[in-house]
Amino acid sequence: MEQDMGRITELLDAAHARSPQLNLGYAGALLPHEAYELLQRAPGARLVDVRSRAEIDLVGAIPETINIEWQSWPGWVANPHFLVQLAHATDPESLLLFICRSGVRSHHAALACTQAGRGSCYNVLEGFEGDLDKSTGHRSSLNGWKQRGLPWLQS
Protein backbone atom coordinates (compact mmCIF):
# COMPACT_ATOMS: atom_id res chain seq x y z
CA MET A 1 0.00 0.00 0.00
CA GLU A 2 2.80 2.43 0.89
CA GLN A 3 4.54 1.53 -2.38
CA ASP A 4 1.27 2.25 -4.26
CA MET A 5 0.95 5.67 -2.62
CA GLY A 6 4.52 6.56 -3.56
CA ARG A 7 3.98 5.51 -7.16
CA ILE A 8 0.62 7.35 -7.34
CA THR A 9 2.42 10.49 -6.16
CA GLU A 10 5.13 10.02 -8.83
CA LEU A 11 2.55 9.59 -11.59
CA LEU A 12 0.53 12.63 -10.49
CA ASP A 13 3.69 14.72 -10.10
CA ALA A 14 4.64 13.90 -13.71
CA ALA A 15 1.11 14.79 -14.87
CA HIS A 16 1.12 18.06 -12.90
CA ALA A 17 4.53 19.02 -14.34
CA ARG A 18 3.08 18.80 -17.86
CA SER A 19 0.23 21.21 -17.07
CA PRO A 20 2.23 24.48 -17.08
CA GLN A 21 4.56 23.16 -19.82
CA LEU A 22 1.59 22.54 -22.12
CA ASN A 23 -0.54 25.43 -20.75
CA LEU A 24 -3.40 23.04 -20.04
CA GLY A 25 -5.68 24.82 -17.57
CA TYR A 26 -6.44 21.63 -15.60
CA ALA A 27 -4.58 19.38 -13.15
CA GLY A 28 -2.35 17.58 -15.64
CA ALA A 29 -1.79 15.14 -18.48
CA LEU A 30 -0.78 11.49 -18.49
CA LEU A 31 0.63 9.23 -21.15
CA PRO A 32 -1.56 6.16 -21.77
CA HIS A 33 0.64 3.73 -19.83
CA GLU A 34 0.77 6.18 -16.89
CA ALA A 35 -3.02 6.52 -16.94
CA TYR A 36 -3.43 2.75 -16.95
CA GLU A 37 -1.04 2.35 -14.03
CA LEU A 38 -2.77 5.10 -12.08
CA LEU A 39 -6.15 3.42 -12.66
CA GLN A 40 -4.69 0.18 -11.24
CA ARG A 41 -3.20 1.84 -8.16
CA ALA A 42 -5.51 4.73 -7.19
CA PRO A 43 -8.82 3.73 -5.63
CA GLY A 44 -11.64 5.79 -7.06
CA ALA A 45 -9.76 6.97 -10.16
CA ARG A 46 -12.06 6.75 -13.17
CA LEU A 47 -11.38 6.73 -16.90
CA VAL A 48 -13.98 8.71 -18.86
CA ASP A 49 -14.05 7.92 -22.59
CA VAL A 50 -15.54 10.93 -24.38
CA ARG A 51 -15.55 9.38 -27.87
CA SER A 52 -18.85 8.96 -29.69
CA ARG A 53 -20.83 5.75 -29.33
CA ALA A 54 -20.11 5.05 -33.01
CA GLU A 55 -16.33 5.26 -32.44
CA ILE A 56 -16.49 2.94 -29.46
CA ASP A 57 -18.63 0.42 -31.34
CA LEU A 58 -16.49 0.47 -34.50
CA VAL A 59 -12.95 1.02 -33.20
CA GLY A 60 -12.96 -0.57 -29.75
CA ALA A 61 -13.63 0.06 -26.09
CA ILE A 62 -11.56 0.19 -22.93
CA PRO A 63 -12.88 -2.10 -20.17
CA GLU A 64 -14.32 -0.54 -16.99
CA THR A 65 -14.63 2.90 -18.53
CA ILE A 66 -17.36 5.49 -18.17
CA ASN A 67 -18.58 6.46 -21.64
CA ILE A 68 -20.00 9.97 -21.97
CA GLU A 69 -19.94 11.52 -25.43
CA TRP A 70 -18.36 14.95 -25.73
CA GLN A 71 -19.77 15.14 -29.26
CA SER A 72 -22.19 12.83 -31.07
CA TRP A 73 -21.95 11.24 -34.50
CA PRO A 74 -23.12 12.10 -37.11
CA GLY A 75 -22.37 15.79 -37.31
CA TRP A 76 -20.14 16.02 -34.22
CA VAL A 77 -22.85 17.83 -32.26
CA ALA A 78 -21.71 18.94 -28.80
CA ASN A 79 -23.35 17.10 -25.90
CA PRO A 80 -25.12 19.84 -23.91
CA HIS A 81 -25.60 17.45 -20.97
CA PHE A 82 -21.98 16.34 -20.65
CA LEU A 83 -21.29 17.91 -17.24
CA VAL A 84 -24.60 16.73 -15.78
CA GLN A 85 -24.06 13.17 -17.06
CA LEU A 86 -20.54 13.19 -15.65
CA ALA A 87 -21.79 14.39 -12.25
CA HIS A 88 -24.32 11.54 -12.16
CA ALA A 89 -21.76 8.92 -13.18
CA THR A 90 -18.86 9.85 -10.88
CA ASP A 91 -18.06 10.71 -7.29
CA PRO A 92 -17.19 14.41 -6.87
CA GLU A 93 -13.87 13.47 -5.23
CA SER A 94 -12.73 11.03 -7.94
CA LEU A 95 -9.60 11.51 -10.00
CA LEU A 96 -10.99 11.83 -13.52
CA LEU A 97 -8.90 10.76 -16.50
CA PHE A 98 -10.39 11.75 -19.85
CA ILE A 99 -9.59 9.94 -23.11
CA CYS A 100 -10.76 10.28 -26.72
CA ARG A 101 -9.31 9.22 -30.07
CA SER A 102 -6.24 11.46 -30.05
CA GLY A 103 -6.36 13.58 -26.89
CA VAL A 104 -8.06 16.67 -28.34
CA ARG A 105 -11.70 16.23 -27.24
CA SER A 106 -10.55 14.81 -23.90
CA HIS A 107 -8.46 17.98 -23.42
CA HIS A 108 -11.62 20.07 -23.89
CA ALA A 109 -13.59 17.81 -21.53
CA ALA A 110 -10.93 18.11 -18.79
CA LEU A 111 -10.85 21.88 -19.27
CA ALA A 112 -14.66 22.21 -19.14
CA CYS A 113 -14.86 20.12 -15.97
CA THR A 114 -12.14 22.17 -14.32
CA GLN A 115 -13.84 25.43 -15.32
CA ALA A 116 -17.10 24.06 -13.86
CA GLY A 117 -15.33 23.68 -10.50
CA ARG A 118 -14.37 20.04 -10.61
CA GLY A 119 -10.84 19.29 -9.39
CA SER A 120 -8.50 16.42 -10.25
CA CYS A 121 -9.14 16.40 -14.00
CA TYR A 122 -6.47 14.87 -16.25
CA ASN A 123 -6.17 14.32 -19.98
CA VAL A 124 -4.75 11.13 -21.46
CA LEU A 125 -2.28 12.33 -24.08
CA GLU A 126 -2.20 10.45 -27.40
CA GLY A 127 -5.73 9.12 -26.77
CA PHE A 128 -7.05 5.69 -27.71
CA GLU A 129 -5.78 5.59 -31.30
CA GLY A 130 -2.89 8.04 -31.13
CA ASP A 131 -1.51 10.46 -33.66
CA LEU A 132 -2.13 10.14 -37.38
CA ASP A 133 0.79 8.56 -39.23
CA LYS A 134 1.01 10.89 -42.22
CA SER A 135 3.00 8.34 -44.23
CA THR A 136 0.18 5.77 -44.09
CA GLY A 137 -2.86 7.88 -43.25
CA HIS A 138 -3.65 5.55 -40.33
CA ARG A 139 -3.78 5.83 -36.56
CA SER A 140 -2.78 3.26 -33.90
CA SER A 141 0.74 2.79 -35.27
CA LEU A 142 2.69 5.68 -33.72
CA ASN A 143 1.33 5.90 -30.18
CA GLY A 144 -1.88 5.81 -28.16
CA TRP A 145 -3.62 3.37 -25.82
CA LYS A 146 -4.01 0.61 -28.45
CA GLN A 147 -0.47 0.91 -29.85
CA ARG A 148 0.99 0.65 -26.34
CA GLY A 149 -0.75 -2.70 -25.87
CA LEU A 150 -3.06 -1.61 -23.05
CA PRO A 151 -6.38 -3.47 -22.49
CA TRP A 152 -9.19 -2.88 -24.96
CA LEU A 153 -12.05 -4.83 -26.52
CA GLN A 154 -13.49 -5.03 -30.02
CA SER A 155 -17.21 -5.71 -30.30
Q: What is the pLDDT of residues 76-92, one digit of tens each?
A: 999 999 999 999 999 99
Domain 2-124 has CATH 3.90.1150.10: no
Report the pLDDT value the prediction gives residue 3, as an integer from 0 to 100. Answer: 75
What is the percent of the chain with per-residue pLDDT over 90, rounded to a whole number? Answer: 92
What distance lies between CA 29 and its chain's CA centroid?
9
Can you list the alpha helix ranges (DSSP code H) found in the chain?
A: 2-22, 32-41, 53-59, 82-89, 104-115
Beta-sheet pairing, 46-49 with 96-99: parallel
Distance in angstroms (rounded) separating the CA atoms of residues 128 and 100: 6
134, 148, 91, 15 alpha-carbon torsion, rounded to 10° = -80
Domain-by-domain residue ranges, the chain?
Answer: 2-124
Percent of the chain past pLDDT 70, that is, above it, reads 99
The pTM of the full predicted model, rounded to 2 decimals, is 0.95
